[in-house]
Amino acid sequence: MSFYRSKYLITIVGPTAIGKTAIAIKLAQYFQTEILSVDARQFYQGMAIGTAQPTLAEQEGVPHHFLAFLPVTANYSAGQFGGEARDCLYDLLLHHSVVIAVGGSGLYMQALCEGLIEMPSIAPSIRSMLQTTLEKKGLPYLTAWLAKEDPMYHNTIIDPKNPRRIIRALEVCLETGMSYTFWRQQKANKEPLQAKGIHLIKIGLTQEKEPLYQKIDARVEAMMEAGLVEEVEKLYPYQASNALQTIGYRELFNYLNKQHSLREAAAQIKHNTKQYAKKQMTWFKKDKAIVWFAPHDFKQIKACLCQQMHR
């Protein structure tokens, strides 16, 4: 158990495949504490391979929270996570001075650290109309519509092939007459953790594009060898679930539906993961409080943290 005069949340962020899990586990072992997983894809059961959930060996000796705790049929928003993750954090800080939060889901990390404004409720008629439009005219039509309604969000959306994100943004635009970006930028009803007396230290992992892309290619190949296709086959009955409209699953559902070959699916997963990593970095680079390190710089990361915590 770690003992400091103050209470700290250390966040570890960065693009997919860069090595956040390894750093988080080392820090949790050093501070003798626990980890909050802030990867929205890892919340769901049965998706261990495709979302690169920490293995049982990696979790050994380091308790993890918010891993594989939901069925794939569940809908779970960033706002829900923010409230539940904060409750968990407050409980952990009764026994630890330091807690580690790790993940690449920027909006969910924001929900934990700063809180989120409550989005407006949506009329069922709007939701139904957009779903019907998706079925009749396709995702490209809705994407072009969003580009007109909210060009800023359209240009920064992390996973533009995920219809759930496109429809959610359009719902808010049509319901309120204001852009989705406007609502996301509102400060009202937010309560940063600092207001609760918790010190927040943000660590980011970054490296040159080519080495990261090589890691992504290697990870996808390792996932395929570990049985990703078999994992997706088991989830096939639930392919319409929101949780499965994500990289690694969408492409393999298309393969199982005979829309392209397995080789093409693997290539698409690699390409889409690289695009996702790029969008993740765009999100995190906007946060000037993050201190950036190379993924192998554990000693420097530890020294930076200890210096800040002993000021």
Query: Residue 4: its pLDDT value, please?
Result: 62
pLDDT digits (tens, 9 = 90+) for 101-116: 999 999 999 999 988 7
For residues 261 and 176, the model is more confident at 261
Q: Would you say 14 is a known binding-site residue?
A: yes
Are residues 217 and 103 both part of a single domain? yes
pLDDT digits (tens, 9 = 90+) for 205-223: 999 999 999 999 999 999 9
Task: pLDDT band for 311, please (50, 70, 90 cuts).
Answer: low
Query: Residue 262: its pLDDT value, please?
Result: 98
Tell me which residue of 182, 196, 262, 276 sits closest to 229, measured CA to CA. 262
Residue 181 is part of a domain; what is its CATH number? 1.10.20.140
Confidence check: pLDDT of 303 > 90: yes
- Integer Cα distance of 234 and 220 in angstroms: 19
**Phi and psi (nearest 5°) for 119?**
-75, 150
Q: What is 35-62 written as a DSSP string?
A: EEE--GGGGBTT-TTTTTPPPHHHHTTS
Alpha helices by DSSP H, 177-246? 180-185, 209-226, 228-235
Q: Would you say 147 is a known binding-site residue?
A: no
Confidence check: pLDDT of 180 > 60: yes
Task: pLDDT band for 178, please (50, 70, 90 cuts).
Answer: confident
Q: Is residue 264 part of a domain?
A: no
Are residues 54 and 109 both part of a single domain? yes
Q: Is residue 285 part of a domain?
A: yes
Are residues 65 and 159 both part of a single domain? no
Tell me which residue of 29, 16, 9 sits closest to 298, measured CA to CA. 29
Query: Residue 1: its pLDDT value, please?
Result: 45
Expressed as residue numbers, the domain containing 149 is 124-185
Task: pLDDT band for 7, please (50, 70, 90 cuts).
Answer: very high
Q: Would you say 16 is a known binding-site residue?
A: yes
Q: Would you say 19 is a known binding-site residue?
A: yes
Q: Would you say 278 is a known binding-site residue?
A: no
